Amino acid sequence: MNDTLKTIMNRKSVRKFSDKTISPEDIKTILQAGMSGPSCVNSRCWSFVVVRDKDKLLQMADANVRYADPLRGAALGILVCGDLSRTEFFANAREFWAIDGAIAAQNMILAAESLGIGSCWLGTWPVEERVANQAALFDLPEHIVPHSVIALGYPADDVPPGPRPGRPEWDADRVHWETW
Ligand SMILES: Cc1cc2nc3c(=O)[nH]c(=O)nc-3n(C[C@H](O)[C@H](O)[C@H](O)COP(=O)(O)O)c2cc1C
């Protein structure tokens, strides 16, 4: 298996992190990966809020209301946002913005994995309370919509690699060949 496939297959959510910080170069690489995915009519309709401040990370965790504890020990939190001002070319299908945000988030997660940095996706949009809280916390303009939060850091302890009970490597039932 090549290195790219190993990165994809071995990725797993990491929820406990060591105290080690992430270098500015690696942060930039992760963000660059986020900016490298496909986007609807090349709208690149996302923006990222990058947070290293520990107090702000705690506030982000509170803003996501539930299941956001990974942020409390993270070295870095990235709020992935949709930029609705960039969606005019697909005004009849603006929801594509959310797909672009998800692609950016996943690209960053995979880039982090390839650098030995663990991450956990914390769902924000479309949970209205979470979206409103994150928007208020960062004083976002109207056209910027919180999509998801990615908690990142070096893993605290060995998390088993990707395939495991509940996440098989191959699930034949999910594949339909030629027709449903
Ligand atoms: C849209 C989305 C929302 C998620 N929200 C949370 C969350 O709020 N808290 C959390 O700990 N994990 C969250 N996760 C991570 C999933 O729980 C995790 O990906 C899933 O259990 C599979 O485990 P794995 O990532 O280790 O393969 C989310 C993942 C996605 C894609």
Query: What residue type is 80 in one-letter code?
Result: V
Alpha carbon of 49 to ligand 1 centroid (Å): 20
CA dist list (Å): 90 to 97, 105, 159: 9, 21, 41
What does the pLDDT read at residue 172? Answer: 94
Task: Report the predicted TM-score, pTM, of the whole model to 2 decimal places.
Answer: 0.97
What does the pLDDT read at residue 164? Answer: 78
Instruction: Judge whether 136 lies within some domain.
Output: yes
What does the pLDDT read at residue 162? Answer: 65
70 lines ligand 1 (CB under 6 A): yes
User: In this structure, which residue's CA is closest to atom 29 in ligand 1?
Assistant: 121
Instruction: Judge whether 34 lies within some domain.
Output: yes
The CATH number of the domain where 28 resides is what?
3.40.109.10
Instruction: Judge whether 41 lies within some domain.
Output: yes
Instruction: Judge whether 103 lies within some domain.
Output: yes
86 lines ligand 1 (CB under 6 A): no
Q: Identify the segments of the chain with pLDDT beneath 50.
A: none
Alpha carbon of 161 to ligand 1 centroid (Å): 15
What does the pLDDT read at residue 80? Answer: 98
Count of structural domains within the chain = 1
What does the pLDDT read at residue 141? Answer: 98
Instruction: Judge whether 40 lies within some domain.
Output: yes
